[in-house]
C-alpha cells in the first residue's frame, strides 16, 4: 500500500515542501531514498522503538520510503513524525483520509514522545503558503508556529496523540496566540535602564546619536569606566520592533534553534555579545547545515564586541562586508544560503595593553610603540565602517556617589523614536532604507549636504586627520542624525562639528598625547 505524508526542508530562512512516499510490500527490508543525511537514516530505529512503546507492533514488511524532491538534501530529526505516521498509515493503523491536509514535523523519543525541533516558524509560513489546512508540531513549538494566522497549529505531546488525531479522536484543539497583544505588551519591559548610569553624559549622548540613526559605535576607555554597562542598556533606547521586523528576527532565531521554549514572537531587539574566542563560522554563520551566525542573530538589534582587540583578526575582518551590505551569503559546493544581518555594531576596548593610558587615576606602563601596536589590531577599513568613536573617562567619586538617578531610558527613547520617524518619512520612497546609516551617496548629497562654512570645516578635518572618503560619508550621515534629533531640516555647522568630534581614533597622535 502506498501512502503520502508531508514535511518540509528548511534551507536558510526558506522552507521547501517534502513529500514522503511510503510503500509496504512483502519482505523484511527497509529502503530509504531521497538524499537523506545520517539523522534521517537513523530515524527508523527511533520509529520502531516509539511504535513498540505506544502499543503498535512495527510492520513485518518490505518498507520503501522516498523523500521527494530527491535532489534536495534532507537534514535533521524533524522527519521522524511524518515518517512514522506514513509507515503506520501504510500498515493500516492510521486513517489516511486527511493526511494530505496536514504538514507534520517533529523528532521522536524512544518512548513515543515528541521533542522540539528548530525551524518551526518557516515551516508554518510554508504550510500556509501551500494551502495546507494545518500543521502538526511538538507541543513546545506550538506557540512559535501559531504566530502564522489562517493555519491550524496542533501541538502534540506524543506519537500516540497524532495517531488518535488522524483516527478521528476528539479533544484536540488548535493553538491560538493573540500575536499583537503579546507582542505589544512585552515591548516596553527592560531589566536594564540608563537611569542606573551615573555621569558619562558625553557617552550617553553618543549612544543616543547612534541609536537615532542606527550608527555603528566604538567606546575606548580604561577598565571599570562603564563601557559594557552602557552598551547593555542600548536596546532600552532603540525604537520598538515593528511586527514585520519581529517576524523576520524570530525566523532567524527559529532556524538557529535559539528561540526560547514557549516563545511566540521576539518582541525586543536582540542584543548579541559573543566572547572574543568566537570562531569565524560562529560569527558569520555556516557549518554543515549553514546555520545563521552571530551577525544574523543580531538582525534588527545590536552586535556588541567587548574587548575588541582580543578578537581574532580574521574574525573581525569578515565583518567588513556584512556591515556594508547588511546581508551575508554562505556558499557551499552544492548550495548557497543568504541571511539578513542589518544590525548596529557596537564595540568597546581599552586604550592600551595595560588599560590605563590617559587615565588620571592610574599610571600607564605602556610605551608609545606598544600602544600603537595595540591600536593597530583594529584595521583601518574596519574603523572606517564605525561611525562614532567615543572616549570614555573614569567617573569621579563625586558623580558616582550621587543618589539621584540619571536620565531614564524611556525619555531618551522618545527622542530617538521622534528622530527615526523623521527618517522614515524622509526615506518612504526609497525601498529598503529606513535610517540615516543606510543612506547611499546619492541620498547623502540630497539630504545631508553641508553649507559652505561647514564644508570648509569638514575639508580642514579631512586634511588634518587624513580621513578616507568613507569616513567623509560617515561624518555627514552622523551630522544628519544630530540634526534630526534637534528637529533641524538642514545640516548646520555645529552638527558637522559634533560629528567630526566622534572620529577620535582617526587622530594620528593617539599614542603620543596624554601619556
pLDDT band at 383 (very low <50, low <70, confident <90, very high): confident
Q: How far is CA 104 from CA 73, 79, 237, 358, in A?
A: 18, 8, 40, 61
Angle at 344 between CA 338 and CA 348, to 5 degrees: 125
| pLDDT of res. 514 | 43
The model's pLDDT over 203-251, given as tens digits with 9 standing for 90+, comes to 999 999 999 999 999 999 999 889 999 999 999 999 999 988 999 999 9
Whether the per-residue pLDDT at 106 is higher than 80: the answer is: yes
**CB contact at 8 A, 241 and 180:** no
Mean pLDDT of 499-507: 82
Q: Determine phi and psi for 410, rounding to 5 degrees.
A: -60, -40
Q: How far is CA 218 from the centre of its chain?
A: 20
Give CA–CA dist 29/39, Å, rounded: 19
Comparing 67 with 190, the larger pLDDT belongs to 67
Dihedral pair phi/psi, residue 218, rounded to 5°: -125, 135
Backbone angles phi, psi at 86, to 5 degrees: -65, -45
CB-CB contact of 326 with 296 (8 Å): no
Q: Which pLDDT band holds residue 403 (cuts at 50, 70, 90)?
A: low
How far apart are alpha carbons 366 and 364 in whole angstroms? 6
pLDDT at 399: 72
Give 413-471 pLDDT, tens digit per residue: 999 999 999 999 999 999 889 999 999 999 999 999 888 888 899 888 888 877 777 78
- Given a cut of 70, whether residue 277 has pLDDT beyond it is yes
Query: In the structure, what pLDDT confidence band is assigned to residue 507 with cuts at 50, 70 and 90?
Result: low
Position 362 confidence tier, pLDDT thresholds 50, 70, 90: confident
Cell 494551502 belongs to residue: 131
Contacts of 38 (CB under 8 A, 6+ apart): none
Amino acid at each position: 500500500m502506498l501512502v503520502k505524508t508531508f514535511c518540509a526542508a528548511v534551507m536558510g530562512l526558506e522552507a521547501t515542501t517534502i513529500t514522503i512516499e511510503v510503500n509496504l510490500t512483502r519482505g523484511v527490508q527497509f529502503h530509504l531514498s531521497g538524499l537523506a543525511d545520517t539523522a534521517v537514516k537513523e530515524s527508523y530505529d527511533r520509529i520502531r522503538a516509539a511504535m513498540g512503546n505506544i502499543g503498535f507492533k512495527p510492520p513485518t514488511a518490505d518498507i520503501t520510503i522516498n523523500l521527494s524532491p530527491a535532489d534536495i538534501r534532507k537534514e535533521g530529526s524533524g522527519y521522524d513524525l511524518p515518517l512514522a505516521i506514513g509507515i503506520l498509515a501504510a500498515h493500516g493503523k492510521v486513517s489516511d483520509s486527511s493526511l494530505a491536509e496536514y504538514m507534520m514535523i517533529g523528532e521522536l523519543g524512544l518512548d513515543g514522545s515528541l521533542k522540539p525541533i528548530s525551524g518551526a516558524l518557516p515551516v508554518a509560513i510554508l504550510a500556509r503558503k501551500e494551502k495546507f489546512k494545518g500543521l502538526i508540531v511538538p507541543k513546545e513549538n506550538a506557540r512559535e508556529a501559531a504566530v502564522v494566522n489562517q493555519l491550524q497549529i496542533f501541538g502534540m505531546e506524543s506519537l500516540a496523540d497524532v495517531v488518535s488525531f488522524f483516527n478521528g479522536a476528539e479533544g484536540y484543539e488548535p493553538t491560538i496566540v493573540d500575536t499583537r497583544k503579546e507582542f505589544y505588551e512585552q515591548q516596553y519591559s527592560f531589566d536594564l535602564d540608563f537611569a542606573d548610569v551615573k555621569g558619562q553624559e558625553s557617552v550617553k549622548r553618543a549612544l543616543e546619536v547612534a541609536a537615532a540613526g542606527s550608527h555603528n559605535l566604538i567606546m575606548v576607555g580604561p577598565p571599570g569606566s562603564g563601557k559594557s554597562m552602557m552598551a547593555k542598556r542600548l536596546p532600552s533606547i532603540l525604537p520598538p520592533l515593528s511586527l514585520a521586523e519581529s517576524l523576520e528576527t524570530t525566523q532567524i532565531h527559529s532556524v538557529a534553534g535559539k528561540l526560547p521554549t514557549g516563545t511566540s514572537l521576539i518582541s525586543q531587539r536582540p542584543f548579541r555579545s559573543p566572547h572574543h574566542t568566537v570562531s569565524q563560522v560562529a560569527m558569520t554563520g555556516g557549518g554543515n547545515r549553514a546555520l545563521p551566525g552571530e551577525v544574523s542573530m543580531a538582525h534588527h538589534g545590536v552586535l556588541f564586541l567587548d574587548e575588541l582587540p582580543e578578537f581574532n583578526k580574521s574574525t573581525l575582518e569578515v565583518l567588513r562586508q556584512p556591515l556594508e551590505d547588511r546581508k551575508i551569503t554562505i556558499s557551499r559546493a552544492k548550495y548557497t544560503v543568504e541571511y539578513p544581518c542589518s544590525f548596529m555594531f557596537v564595540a568597546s576596548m581599552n586604550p592600551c595593553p595595560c588599560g590605563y593610558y590617559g587615565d588620571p587615576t592610574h599610571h600607564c606602563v605602556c610605551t608609545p610603540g606598544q600602544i600603537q601596536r595595540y591600536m593597530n589590531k583594529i584595521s583601518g577599513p574596519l574603523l572606517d565602517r564605525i561611525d562614532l568613536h567615543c572616549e570614555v573617562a573614569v567617573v569621579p567619586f563625586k558623580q558616582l556617589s550621587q543618589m539621584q538617578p540619571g536620565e531614564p531610558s524611556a525619555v531618551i527613547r522618545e527622542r530617538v523614536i521622534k528622530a527615526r520617524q523623521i527618517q522614515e518619512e524622509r526615506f518612504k520612497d526609497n525601498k529598503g532604507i529606513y535610517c540615516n546609516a543606510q543612506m547611499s551617496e546619492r541620498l547623502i548629497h540630497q539630504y545631508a549636504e553641508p553649507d559652505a562654512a561647514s564644508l570648509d570645516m569638514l575639508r580642514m578635518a579631512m586634511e588634518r586627520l587624513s580621513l578616507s572618503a568613507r569616513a567623509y560619508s560617515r561624518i555627514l550621515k552622523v551630522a544628519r542624525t544630530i540634526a534630526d534629533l534637534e528637529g533641524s531640516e538642514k545640516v548646520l555647522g555645529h552638527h558637522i562639528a559634533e560629528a567630526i568630534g566622534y572620529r577620535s581614533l582617526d587622530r594620528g597622535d593617539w599614542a603620543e598625547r596624554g601619556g
